[in-house]
């Protein structure tokens, strides 16, 4: 999985947060969204578990496809999430 996403393109991203936990989300501005998470202005989860780094991101055709991928990856156990990240 990469962190090189063309500007404006929707993507699924996975963060490693404090304590080794993972967070998945979607955005069309990855750098800006990551900065928001780090500043405590992102999701409630990342305010409680600040992100350490971006594990990866995968581009999708549109927001709908990215949302479907987010829903699917959030249901996976940690090991399968890591495999998903490695597969891209």
Average pLDDT score over the chain: 91
Looking at residue 58, its pLDDT comes to 92
Indicate the pTM of the whole model.
0.89
Provide long-range contacts, Cβ within 8 A and 24+ apart, for 29-32: 30/3, 30/5, 30/54, 30/57
Instruction: Quote the pLDDT of residue 2.
Output: 56
Q: Using one digit for the tens of pLDDT, what is the confidence trace for 17-54?
A: 999 999 999 999 999 999 999 999 989 999 999 999 99
CATH of domain 11-87: 3.40.1440.10
């Amino acid at each position: 999985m990469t962190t090189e996403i063309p500007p404006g393109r929707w993507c699924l991203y996975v963060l490693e947060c404090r304590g080794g936990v993972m967070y998945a989300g979607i955005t069309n501005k990855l750098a800006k969204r990551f900065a928001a998470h780090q500043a405590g202005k992102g999701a409630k989860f990342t305010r409680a578990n600040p992100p350490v780094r971006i594990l990866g991101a995968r581009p999708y055709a549109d927001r709908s496809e990215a949302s479907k991928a987010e829903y699917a990856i959030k249901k996976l156990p940690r090991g399968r999430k890591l495999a998903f990240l490695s597969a891209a």
